Amino acid sequence: MSQFLQVLLSGLATGSIYALVAIGFTLVWQAAQTVNFAQGEFVMLPAFFVLIGMSVFGMPLWIALIFGLAISIVVLGVLFKKMIVEPILPHGGITLIIATMALGILLKESVKEFYSAEAQPFPSLFPGDPINVFGAVLSLQDVFNLVISLGIVVLLTLFLNRTRTGRCMQATAQNPAVAEILGVNVKRMILYTFLINAALAALASFLITPVYLAKFSNGETLGLIAFIAAIVGGFNQIRGAIAGGLLIGVLDNLTAAYVTAQYRAALPLVLLIVIILVRPQGILGTSEGRTV
């Protein structure tokens, strides 16, 4: 029982980070009706901003984290929207999707070329001491990852549902033309969406990189798993992205512990196929009609 609890909690900790990244897919989908295939690289890059802050500018860890967050918001939020999304979106969603794929390759290869091709150690934000939770032995880092990720998700949900700005962001995602007529600053709301996506990616980066080490190729797996998590949960719902992230994190751990560690990487793909066949709108998603 304690081993099951241990596997479950550890899966939730990893899954909650997947959820942060998957929410980014949902937010960008709602704001621009497109899929950001550079999302994995958006999680890979902030860790390198922190490392640059520490190694080049000699910042202490916590200052470097704030520096990394700020640079991520500017580069992956403001610049991404102004230089990639705004000029390309009028040419169609598919064009933008291909552009984000190209951006992902550019970011990955740039880090490999200009920083390092080797995995870099990334300082842990929390002590890795084991603690005992109802008989399950967990690392403190897992516990903090779970608490912080879920805390961020709760704050984001409260922001979207309880503040005027959050309501305007929802209105912009649901009916931008009418929102604009009602006085909502639609352009600003879309910018906020991209800023939040960048901040979530940076926070996910800071939480997961101590485990995986900072490497240029980290985004490949993370981006794919989070993309699948968003589809499995329901691509057009934030709660869907959370559910999908947590589900994949837990199933991944359960499979590795009780079935096979060898094929654990295939599990998200199997889950994706099952969901597309059985419930294509995702577990918590809603069907969307399109005129073609």
Partner 1 sequence: MSVPVLSVRNIEKSFGGIRAVRGVTFEVRKGEILGLIGPNGSGKSTLFNCILGQLRPEAGEVEVNGQNVSGMRASDLNRLGVGRTFQQLSVFPKMTVLDNIILAGQEHHGTMLSRLFGPGDAGLTNEAERLISFFRLTHLRDTLAGSLSYGQQKLVDAAMAFMAGPSLVLLDEPAGGVNLTMLANLKERLTAYNAEHGTTFVVIEHNMEFVMSLCTRIIVLAEGGIIAEGKPEEIRANQSVIDAYLGG
Q: Which residues bind partner 1 (CB under 8 A)?
A: 161-168, 170-171, 174-175, 178-184
Could you tell me the smallest distance in angstroms from the CB atom of residue 182 to partner 1? 5
Q: Is 158 helix (H, G, I), strand (E, B) or coil?
A: helix
Pick 26 or 145: Cβ nearer partner 1 = 26
Pick 90 or 289: Cβ nearer partner 1 = 289
Pick 101 or 171: Cβ nearer partner 1 = 171
Strand partners, 137: 132
Could you tell me the smallest distance in angstroms from the CB atom of residue 161 to partner 1? 8
Q: Is 131 helix (H, G, I), strand (E, B) or coil?
A: strand
Dihedral sign from CA coordinates of 197, 42, 249, 8: negative
Could you tell me the smallest distance in angstroms from the CB atom of residue 291 to partner 1? 12
Pick 113 or 288: Cβ nearer partner 1 = 288
Could you tell me the smallest distance in angstroms from the CB atom of residue 177 to partner 1? 8
Gap between the Cα atoms of 197 and 189, Å rounded: 12
Residues 6+ apart with CB under 8 A from 284: 233, 234, 237, 239, 240, 243
Could you tell me the smallest distance in angstroms from the CB atom of residue 196 to partner 1? 13
Rg of the chain over CA atoms, in angstroms? Answer: 19
Pick 236 or 255: Cβ nearer partner 1 = 236
Host H or E run for residue 136: strand 136-139
Type of residue found at 46: P
User: Tokens 């600003």 correspond to what residue?
Assistant: 188
Query: Residue 233: which of 1, 9, 16, 3 has the closest Cα?
Result: 16
Pick 200 or 238: Cβ nearer partner 1 = 238
Pick 60 or 183: Cβ nearer partner 1 = 183
Pick 2 or 161: Cβ nearer partner 1 = 161
Could you tell me the smallest distance in angstroms from the CB atom of residue 205 to partner 1? 25
Gap between the Cα atoms of 89 and 99, Å rounded: 10
For 49, other C-beta atoms within 10 Å of its C-beta total 21
Could you tell me the smallest distance in angstroms from the CB atom of residue 165 to partner 1? 5
Could you tell me the smallest distance in angstroms from the CB atom of residue 286 to partner 1? 8
Q: First-to-last CA distance in the chain? A: 52
Q: Is 165 exposed, middle or buried (0-12, 13-18, 19+ CB in 10 A)?
A: middle
Gap between the Cα atoms of 227 and 216, Å rounded: 19
For 265, other C-beta atoms within 10 Å of its C-beta total 14
